[in-house]
Amino acid sequence: MPNLTHASCELFERPPDERFESTTDLLRHCQTLKERSRRLKEPGPEFRPVLHESDVALQVNGFSPCRLNDWSFSQFCSIAGVAKDTVNRLRPETAVQVLSETVRQRTRDDTDLQALVFDDKIIRAINGEQYKRLWNAEIIAMLQEFAVDFQPPQKGYNGATGLYAGEQDMFCFLIDPAGWTEIGEDAFAPGFFVWNSEVGKRTVGVSTFWFQAVCANHVVWDACEVTEFTRKHTGRVRDALTDIRAAIEALVKRRDERKDRFAKVVAKAMATTYGQDAEEVEKLLNKAGFTKSLTTRALEIAAEHGRFTVWSLVDAMTQLARDLQYAGSRTEAEQKASSLLSLVTV
């Protein structure tokens, strides 16, 4: 089974100001960006580099000059066909001249560009006329409505939660901590990644999966049933909201089915006697590979239930496994205990 490193990469790359404690905090941030941003769509030649407050700025048609952030500056250099590193080595006056001449040669009156402007001061993005925006706030609001049982994993070693948003994109890592169910002989819980960019940095998409553990580096260990969907920011990008919702609903449905099936197994295990007396149960457990010392202690705990049911023995073995010193021994004991449930699989 693969280990998923997407969330771990985000954890290492995101600075503190791009990390959020909860989806509510993330939604509030993204909603503010949306409300304070507006689109300017004009023919390419109307995007004119100018010198503003001793720095390179962009004037779109008759609007006031706006500063470029790192991402929009990279986009404009690409439109102009000039390497960003080359422009950064020039004096602002020279950079404006170079960009003015090159962008004039590469844009046409019949082709529009669109700028995403924040507070009428900063250009967040410059995209072609075919680009269609999907707001981060819309995705997060949908997650809050349809992924109500999901939350960020435990904080990473550096305090990051798995919820991120910066000037280029957004990324969410959510799990259902109460969704543990048996798949085969192992326990798994459901989780998913969701990502988007309002400025053209990346696609919009979702990846759902079942996992066994998440470490302090936010590596998702032993993932299975991994599914992924992505969509480009073109004409039907808003359909991504429906697709992401459908992927999460399918994950929740599968979780509920597994939990219901497991609940039936537990109910049957509670009603099924493993042996008539302690002597018979001890022989059966020894034959199943349980050590004599573990069996003796398990019988003492199970006897408190009044009779030796499959569930009382599984519960006793699981309790004893937690007291074992080594992780490998604990895992082996827990797996053996779980194997008893195969006797009552429904």
72 vs 188: which has the higher pLDDT: 72
Two structure tokens written together for 39: 């689109």
Confidence of residue 261 (pLDDT cuts 50, 70, 90): confident
Task: Give the model confidence (pLDDT) of 80-133 as tens digits.
Answer: 999 999 999 999 999 999 999 999 888 888 889 999 999 999 999 999 999 999
Work out the percent of the chain whose per-residue pLDDT is above 70.
88
The answer on pLDDT for 167 being more than 90 is yes
Among 189-198, 219-228, 306-315, name the one with the lowest average pLDDT. 306-315
State the pLDDT at residue 269.
Answer: 76
Query: Residue 297 has what pLDDT?
Result: 79
> 273 to each of 260, 300, 301, 306, how far by Cα in Å?
22, 16, 15, 11
Q: Is the pLDDT of residue 330 over 60?
A: no
Average of per-residue pLDDT values in the chain: 87
CA 328 to chain centre: 29
Picking from 4, 35, 239, 9, the residue whose alpha carbon sits closest to that of residue 139 is: 239
Whether residue 284 is predicted with pLDDT greater than 90 in this model: the reply is: no
| Residue range 31-42: mean pLDDT, rounded | 96
> In the prediction, which pLDDT does 333 show?
60
pLDDT score, position 62: 82
For residue 163, is pLDDT > 70? yes
Three-state secondary-structure class, residue 270:
helix
Stronger pLDDT, 1 or 264, i.e. the higher one:
264
Give me the long-range contacts of 182-188 (CB less than 8 A, separation at least 24).
182/258, 182/262, 182/265, 182/338, 182/341, 183/210, 183/224, 183/258, 185/335, 185/338, 185/339, 186/212, 186/222, 186/335, 187/212, 187/338, 188/212, 188/222, 188/224
Percentage of residues in the chain having pLDDT higher than 90? 62
Alpha-carbon dihedral of residues 287, 290, 291, 294, nearest 10 degrees?
A: -130
Residue 248: Cβ within 10 Å count: 21
Instruction: Please state the rounded mean pLDDT for residues 155-177.
Output: 95
Confidence at residue 36, expressed as pLDDT on a 0 to 100 scale = 97
Residue 75: both structure tokens together: 């986009």
What would the mean pLDDT of 238-256 be, rounded to a whole number? 93
pLDDT(28) > 80: yes
What pLDDT does residue 281 have? Answer: 76
